Amino acid sequence: MTYRKRIVEQLLEASSEALKRAVAPYSRFKVGASLLADDGTVLTGCNIENPSLMLSICAEKVAIVKAISEGKKNIKAIMIKSSKGDYCPPCGACRQLIAEFAPEAEIYLAGKRGIKKYTIKELLPDAFKKD
């Protein structure tokens, strides 16, 4: 098994576990995300809904914020999986967050028909930049 395949399987397993912790009583659309930092650390996130929808938070955002708060500033890969089994690309806000904090990360979407791989430049070609 190749290194990349092992990493993808590890991220898929971590996303699946994170998905179990999602709190989505309103949409019933649960999402789990995992990411790989350059030191080999895998961090996870799940979506957490709130009756005030503005306070809800995406799985990818949780994972990225955890990484940054733990000093993991070089994110190599991100995996996203939904409870519906369909591909679940990141929302616009999460795409912008990825563009800023994980611009070189491989982005994997898990679905019933396998795994798709993207770059943030494919998902958000004209991201806002610091300059």
pLDDT in 10s for each residue of the chain, 131 residues:
798 899 999 999 999 999 999 999 999 999 999 999 999 999 999 999 999 988 999 999 999 999 999 999 999 999 999 999 999 999 999 999 999 999 999 999 999 999 999 999 999 999 988 77
pLDDT of 82: 97
Handedness of CA 61, 66, 69, 71 (dihedral sign): negative
Query: Residue 102 belongs to a domain with what CATH number?
Result: 3.40.140.10
Residue 129 resides in a domain: no
Establish whether 9 is a catalytic residue.
no
pTM (2 d.p.): 0.94
Distance separating alpha carbons of residues 119 and 31, to the nearest angstrom: 20
Residue 37 resides in a domain: yes
Q: Note down the domain range covering 20.
A: 3-123
pLDDT of 19: 97
Residue 90 resides in a domain: yes
Residue 75 resides in a domain: yes
Distance separating alpha carbons of residues 82 and 33, to the nearest angstrom: 9
Tell me which of 9, 60, 100, 104 is the catalytic residue.
60
Report how far apart, in Å, the C-alpha atoms of 67 and of each of 19, 24, 43, 52, 87 are: 18, 23, 7, 26, 23
Residue 131 resides in a domain: no
Residue 32 resides in a domain: yes
What is the number of domains present in the chain?
A: 1
Residue 128 resides in a domain: no
CB atoms near residue 57 (< 10 Å): 17
Distance separating alpha carbons of residues 21 and 39, to the nearest angstrom: 25
